[in-house]
Structure 1
């Protein structure tokens, strides 16, 4: 009996090793599975994506600035309605980009609309009145939306970051709606012009 007890006690540490080691292994698995999530937040935008974000946010600022001017100066209620819509939509887009870049720790490179260009457009509009103002503002909206829509289309197809691709894809119909409305207003002219043509 003494030898049997000695044999059993000598095997006890080995049995404990087989029980404890697997438990330690299981405890470590959840920690390893979390590492990919940390890597997602560490992912930085490539140069093309950063350039798109900078262009889109600068375009938002420019369009908001010009549309606010139109809201106060245009006599055409449809033009003021479009301007109000542009301010609202581009403010929302700008917020999406701000939240997105905050998670990436990057603000992008300065590849947007130069400040002096925005001031020049603003000064030109401020020098105009009535129908001339409306036509100039609508023309600017057509031109600028053409340019930014092309950038959104590229980002929606080629962006490596899925979230950025989604922002671009969802923003496209919004911008295309602005473009269509601006084109229509350019063709229709002001209410006063329409009355003269109908007389």
Structure 2
């Protein structure tokens, strides 16, 4: 009798655990499903956010392409240094956007700087030499950075996705540094170039 009671007393907790396991598993699945639903909703970017990511990544590609050209063609050490900085900084920004897009399950971007526009800018720069090349490149950097900085500022203020907002906010001072350096190099070209930059 004592053995039977002892067996029953040790068996009861085990039976209770076995009985509760399906309920625990169901609760875990329900929690995971709920978490996934929240995650899926959180991963969806609205049209403005998608457009910004597309614009920013296309701008990275354009800036890198033109800056690499300047690294090889400019005779001005400061211009080459700026071009090198633009390549490395925009490559870093592009990596952040690529990782962000991968996390969102993005399959690509439908908008951005048209390839023909980049090719047109390349062709124009390739037709120039010396000071003319430097001023044209610096002018392009001023114009393009003004445009993309405005897009970054808007995203930093209005993006619903916190990570995207952070990427934009941290990118602004980097781009402003490029803009300031390009403007400084344009001033070396004299009043005519300054007038063109201000237009």
Q: Does the C-alpha gap of structure 1 residues 48 and 184 become closer, same or farther in structure 2, counting only changes over 3 Å? A: same
* Residue in structure 2 matched with residue 103 of structure 1 by the alignment: 103
CA deviations on 1:150-182 (whole Å, 9 max, x unpaired) are 100111111111111111111111001100100
Unmatched segments (≥5 aa) in structure 2: 1-15, 191-199
* Residue in structure 1 matched with residue 66 of structure 2 by the alignment: 66
Unmatched segments (≥5 aa) in structure 1: 1-17, 191-199
Deviates more, 1:97-106 or 1:130-139: 97-106
Contact 1:41–1:103 under 8 Å retained in 2:
no
CA deviations on 1:75-111 (whole Å, 9 max, x unpaired) are 0000000000000000011111111111111145422
Q: Which whole-Å CA distance do the structure 2 matches of 1:160 and 1:151 have between them?
A: 15
CA deviations on 1:2-60 (whole Å, 9 max, x unpaired) are xxxxxxxxxxxxxxxx9998887666555444445423255211111111111000000
* Residue in structure 2 matched with residue 165 of structure 1 by the alignment: 165
Q: 1:68-107, aligned counterparts within 5 Å?
A: 68-107=68-107
* Residue in structure 2 matched with residue 11 of structure 1 by the alignment: none
Q: Does the C-alpha gap of structure 1 residues 107 and 52 become closer, same or farther in structure 2, counting only changes over 3 Å? A: farther
Counterpart of 1:75 in 2: which secondary structure? coil
Q: Does the C-alpha gap of structure 1 residues 184 and 100 become closer, same or farther in structure 2, counting only changes over 3 Å? A: same
Q: Which whole-Å CA distance do the structure 1 matches of 2:17 and 2:98 have between them?
A: 51
* Residue in structure 2 matched with residue 135 of structure 1 by the alignment: 135
Counterpart of 2:92 in 1: which secondary structure? helix
Which of 15, 30, 36 is equivalent to 1:38?
36
Q: Which whole-Å CA distance do the structure 2 matches of 1:36 and 1:149 have between them?
A: 38
Deviates more, 1:33-42 or 1:21-30: 21-30
TM-score computed with the length of structure 1 as normaliser: 0.79
Larger Rg: 1
Q: Does the C-alpha gap of structure 1 residues 136 and 168 become closer, same or farther in structure 2, counting only changes over 3 Å? A: same
Check if 1:119 corresponds to 2:133: no
Contact 1:152–1:171 under 8 Å retained in 2:
yes
- Across the two proteins, how many residue pairs are aligned to each other? 175
Q: Does the C-alpha gap of structure 1 residues 78 and 37 become closer, same or farther in structure 2, counting only changes over 3 Å? A: farther
Contact 1:82–1:181 under 8 Å retained in 2:
yes
Q: Which whole-Å CA distance do the structure 1 matches of 2:40 and 2:83 have between them?
A: 37
